[in-house]
Structures are given as C-alpha cells and as structure tokens.
Structure 1
Amino acid sequence: MVEDFEGFVRARSTALARTAYLLTGDRHQAEDLLQDTLARVAERWTAVSRGGDPEPYVRRMLYTRAIDGWRGRQRRAALDTTEARQRPELRGRPDDADTVTRRLVLRDALARLTQRQRAVLVLRFYEDLTEVQTAEALHCSPNTVKSQTRHALERLRQLAPELADLFGPGTPVEAR
C-alpha cells in the first residue's frame, strides 16, 4: 500500500500543487497546504484508496483545508502581493508588460476574496467542475456555490474593473 501512495503522489502532485497555489495565492503556503494534506492522506491511505480513485477525496481535503485552515493568512497574502509588485524579477520583459500587469492585478484581486469564494472560483473555472460537483467537494449546496460564484465575480469586477473581460459577460458593477 505504501507503494500505491508513493505512486499516487508522483503521478498527481504537480496537478495538486497547481490547485493548492490557486487556492492560496502563495507558492510557500501552497507547498505547506499540499504537504499537510498529503501527510493526512498517508495516515488514512488504506481507507482512502479502498473505494477506488483516491483523487476526489484528496482534492476535497485540499479544498477544505484551504478554506478552514488558512483564513488567518489572507491578510498576509495581501501584503505579499504588494511586495511582489516591487520585485524587479516579477516585472517581466517589456513585451510581456500587459500580461504581467494583468496577472498581478488578478492576483491582487483574488487575494482579497474570502477563502470560500476563491475555492469556488478555482473549482468552477480552473478545475472545470459543475456546480453540483463543486458543492459536493465543498460540502455545501449547489445554491451556495451559485451565490458564492456570483459574489466572487462581482467582487472581482469591483476590485479589478479593467479585467472584466476575464469574468464573463456583463459590465463592471459600478456601471450598473
């Protein structure tokens, strides 16, 4: 069974790390989140793998831990994004200025969302899950997913109106 866990980690850790980064907005926090999640999964690996594919369970644990365990770090993430704007190595080449600027604006706006809103957006738009699948992953109702998605997109439009084209149809909230 240990070999199965190690194989799972080798095969899926890159994708899980990407998701953890999207949930936290910080590479170091994402590494900590993933490591903590995998350590907890390792303790229960026999039960987790008994039902077949362990990935849905691992992802659900990752989402839940991101929402529940990292709430106090949201303020710190906002400070980290301010520092990132001042670091020259993140400014990019002149040809990439618009792309880098858009990414930084989006990163700043995402950092200001609640953890639940951020998790809903990651699951819906990065993981491409349905509302029902997202609700199952987060242990909530599909209506909660719908309202959290709506509130998160509205908040992103307020925080970064220049990126409204990324958030689907509609006009910025201020124009309504």
Structure 2
Amino acid sequence: MTEDFDSFYAATARRVVLHVYAVCGDLGDAQDITQEAYARAWQQWSKVSAYDNPEQWVRTVAWRLAANRWRGFRRWMAAQARLGRSGADAAGPSPDRVAVVAALQRLPESQRQTVALHYLLDMTVNEIATTTDTPVGTVKARLSRARAALAALLNDDSQEVPDVAVRS
C-alpha cells in the first residue's frame, strides 16, 4: 500500500501543485495545500486508490482547501482593515504576476478552474469535462469566456481595468 501511494504521489504531485498555484497565486500556499490534500488521500488511500482517477480526487480536495484558505485570508484582511492595520512592508511580487493573479481572481471559480486545468495541466477539453463532470460544450464555453475576460483584464493599452461581466 505504501509503495502504491508513493508511486502515485511521485507521478502526480507536480501537476497538482501547478493547479493549486494557478488557483491561489502563491507557490508556498500551493505546496502546503497540495501536501494537505495528499495527506487526506493517504488517510483514505484504500478507498481513493480504487477510484478511476485518484488524481482528480486529490485536485478536488486541494481546490476546496485553496478556496477555504482564500476565504479565510479575505476575512483576516477585512479584520485587519477594521483594526487600522496594514500588511507587512516586504517586497511584493512583480507587477505582471499581480496583474495575472488579480485577473484570475476576477474570473468565476468554474472558469478559473477550467483555465488552470487546460493551461497548467495540459488537459484537453474532453479530459476537463470528465474530470469536472461537466458537459464538453460547457467546458468550451468556460474557456472561451475566460480567454475573453483575461484578454480584457490584462490589456496593456487601457489605463483602467474594465469591469468585465463574466458568466460561468
């Protein structure tokens, strides 16, 4: 059982980290979240290993953990603002990284997930449909809408970021 899990982890962990990194925009957080998702998989390995796609189960758990962490961070920031405290004055990420992460965060969760699966994990539309239990046409629509929204949000020609109305 241990060797089976170790092989699974070695074969899939990098892809899961990339997926979570696209979701949360912080490599350290992505690694922590991925580790937690694999710890949960290990605890239930006899059940998880019997699934058709155990990696999908780990990605789903990691996705939910990242969403929960993001919600907690937003609550913490709101509390800090109410207390009149600002964040640390450490050097921040590059402007390009900030722009991409901000643009991704403005996408609906379903589009953000689809973009991460397609561009970071190199999954095809059919693989995404199977993984997320979503019709192929819906996956195509999410990718198309996400591309259009990201293009508008990341357009260097405009001074202000437009308020892009996006649907999942």
Tell me the TM-score range normalised by the shorter chain.
0.5 to 0.7
Identity of aligned residues (%): 24
Higher helix share: 1
Match of 2:67 in 1: 70
Letter in 1 for 2:42: A
- Cα 1:76/1:143, change in 2 over 3 Å: farther
Structure 2 letter corresponding to 1:127: L
**Distance of 1:155 and 1:140 partners within structure 2:** 21
Shift in Å, 1:64: 5.9
User: Which residue is equivalent to 1:88?
Assistant: 91
2:46 aligns with: 46
| 2:161 counterpart residue number | none
The question of whether the paired residues in 2 share the 8 Å contact of 1:63 and 1:119 is answered with no
Q: CA deviation at 1:59?
A: 3.2
Distance 1:68 1:14, change over 3 A: closer
Supply the RMSD in Å over aligned alpha carbons: 3.3
Q: Which runs of 5+ in 2 are unaligned?
A: 78-86, 158-163
- Bigger mean CA offset, 148-157 vs 8-17: 8-17
Q: TM (normalized to structure 1)? A: 0.65
Report which structure shows greater RCO (CA 8 Å, sep ≥6). Answer: 2
Q: Contact conserved, 2:107 with 2:149, CA < 8 A, in 1? A: yes
The AA in structure 2 aligned to 1:70 is A
User: Which digits, 9 at most, give the CA deviation of each residue in 1:86-106, with x for residues without a partner?
Assistant: 74364xxxxxxxxx4333321
Letter in 2 for 1:3: E
Instruction: Identify the residue that residue 2 of structure 1 maps to in structure 2.
Output: 2
Partner of 2:84: none
Using a 3 Å threshold, how does the CA distance of structure 1 residues 108 and 71 change in structure 2: closer, same or farther?
A: same
Matched, 1:112 2:112: no
TM-score by length of 2: 0.67
Question: How far apart are 1:19 and its partner, in Å?
Answer: 2.1
In the other structure, the counterpart of 1:147 is 141
Aligned equivalent of 1:33:
33
The residue that corresponds to 1:158 in the other structure is 152
Letter in 1 for 2:152: Q
Aligned length: 147
2:18/2:120 contact within 8 Å kept: no
Q: Report SS of the residue matched to 2:156.
A: helix
d(CA) in 1 for partners of 2:40, 2:98:
33
1:74 and 1:156 mapped to 2: Cα distance? 22
Equivalent pair of 2:114/2:143 in contact (CA under 8 Å): yes
Rounded Cα–Cα distance in structure 2 between residues aligned with 1:68 and 1:7 = 23
Distance 1:15 1:112 in 2: 23
- More displaced 10-residue stretch of structure 1: 149-158 or 60-69: 60-69
